Amino acid sequence: MGVTVVMERANVNTLGEAVKKETVYRAHQLNVWYGEHHALKNINLSFYENEITAIIGPSGCGKSTYIKTLNRMIELSPNVRITGEVTYRGRNIFDRSYHVEQLRTNVGMVFQKPNPFPKSIYDNVAYGPRIHGIRNKSVLDEIVEKSLRAAALWDEVKDRLHEHAHALSGGQQQRLCIARCLAVEPDVILMDEPTSALDPISTAKIEELMQQLKEQYSIIIVTHNMQQAARISDKTAFFLNGEVIEYGDTQQLFSNPRDQRTEDYISGRFG
Ligand SMILES: Nc1ncnc2c1ncn2[C@@H]1O[C@H](COP(=O)(O)OP(=O)(O)OP(=O)(O)O)[C@@H](O)[C@H]1O
């Protein structure tokens, strides 16, 4: 039985001053079962504003289950049972009175495989705002441009906005999915291995983009790539067999892990 170690250090700005960051998400004694399978065990973990948090761990350790819990996509899986609490901005997302639509507006998600809708580039980005009732063409044009610029795709697509999204490269499609997510002005972006299907150049672009996006958004990324976690994240959580083994500042976790199992994993001894 593993021990859940939750270490939280003060956030420090570039001048070395401690700064208080707002807690965006807090999981408290969270357990998830798929039928009889206990996939997440007593998770206690917080995520903070304007940070990138990486979730790492070997295949099957519960990373995807965890981020799917954060936007309640987990409820789409059959025979799921959840106990404990997840608060988003202070409210328990499993409260009966909590509207899942509101949560999904605030919390965007980018998946492993780019999944643009079978529509034009423009219509992909305008989709969410239209669902929210925005019909005015010039307002939509503005949102589309702003979102594509924020996703570092505008220059590449501004002359072909009405082409089919599937005509874009994989890396461009993934940035389009990020633009689609930004168009509804989320607060948090969940990313489930967003670069694992991409080449190194597209991966570098997405990583650079994430550094810009964290100025405005809180990002939680699941990644198998430990170099990527070390390069881009502020905090890292290491999951193993459904438990959080270690959580802390990325630099500290990679250079001086507290738990032997973290050390074994990051040094490639298993997983
Ligand atoms: N819908 C489901 N029904 C039953 N078991 C599931 C379901 N989804 C996941 N599991 C099981 O729960 C455990 C955690 O799965 P999860 O997908 O969260 O792991 P992961 O760490 O994201 O893995 P990977 O890195 O391979 O994507 C695994 O043992 C998996 O087989």
What pLDDT shows up at residue 16?
60
CA distance 264 to 169: 37
Q: Is the distance from the beta carbon of residue 39 to the nearest atom of ligand 1 less than 6 Å?
A: yes
For residue 65, the ligand 1 atom closest to its alpha carbon is 18
CATH number of the domain enclosing 88: 3.40.50.300
What pLDDT shows up at residue 17?
61
- How much is the pTM? 0.90
Nearest C-alpha neighbor of 213 from the set 175, 156, 248: 175
Q: Whose CA is nearest to atom 7 of ligand 1?
A: 34
Please give the mean pLDDT across all residues of the chain: 92
CA distance 123 to 126: 5
The answer to whether 232 and 203 are in contact (CB under 8 A) is no
Range of the domain at 110: 11-266
The answer as to whether 4 is a domain residue is no
What pLDDT shows up at residue 5?
39
The answer as to whether 101 is a domain residue is yes
Here the tokens at position 160 are 């072909």
The answer as to whether 208 is a domain residue is yes
Q: How confident is the model at residue 60 (pLDDT cuts 50, 70, 90)?
A: very high
Q: Is the distance from the beta carbon of residue 37 to the nearest atom of ligand 1 less than 6 Å?
A: yes
Number of other CB atoms surrounding residue 143 within 10 Å: 22
Nearest C-alpha neighbor of 237 from the set 34, 84, 2, 43: 43
CA distance 113 to 173: 9
Q: Whose CA is nearest to atom 25 of ligand 1?
A: 59
ipTM of predicted assembly, 2 dp = 0.97
| Total domains present in the chain | 1
CA distance 235 to 25: 14
Q: Whose CA is nearest to atom 16 of ligand 1?
A: 62
Q: How confident is the model at residue 269 (pLDDT cuts 50, 70, 90)?
A: confident
Nearest C-alpha neighbor of 63 from the set 196, 212, 199, 205: 196
Measured in angstroms, how far is the CA atom of residue 139 from the centroid of ligand 1? 41
What pLDDT shows up at residue 18?
62
The answer as to whether 2 is a domain residue is no
DSSP track, the chain = --------PPEE-TTS-EE---EEEEEEEEEEEETTEEEEEEEEEEEETT-EEEEE-STTSSHHHHHHHHTTGGGGSTTEEEEEEEEETTEETTSTT--HHHHHHHEEEE-SS----SSBHHHHHHHHHHHTT---HHHHHHHHHHHHHHTT-HHHHTT-TTSBGGGS-HHHHHHHHHHHHHTT--SEEEEESTTTTS-HHHHHHHHHHHHHHTTTSEEEEE-S-HHHHHHH-SEEEEEETTEEEEEEEHHHHHHS-SSHHHHHHHTTS--
The answer as to whether 39 is a domain residue is yes
Q: Whose CA is nearest to atom 3 of ligand 1?
A: 34
The answer as to whether 271 is a domain residue is no
Does 7 score more than 80 pLDDT? no
CA distance 186 to 208: 19
Mean pLDDT of 48-74: 96
pLDDT tens digits for 228-257?
Answer: 999 999 999 999 999 999 999 999 999 999
pLDDT tens digits for 83-129?
Answer: 999 999 999 999 989 999 989 889 999 999 999 999 999 999 999 99
The answer as to whether 77 is a domain residue is yes
Q: Is the distance from the beta carbon of residue 64 to the nearest atom of ligand 1 less than 6 Å?
A: yes
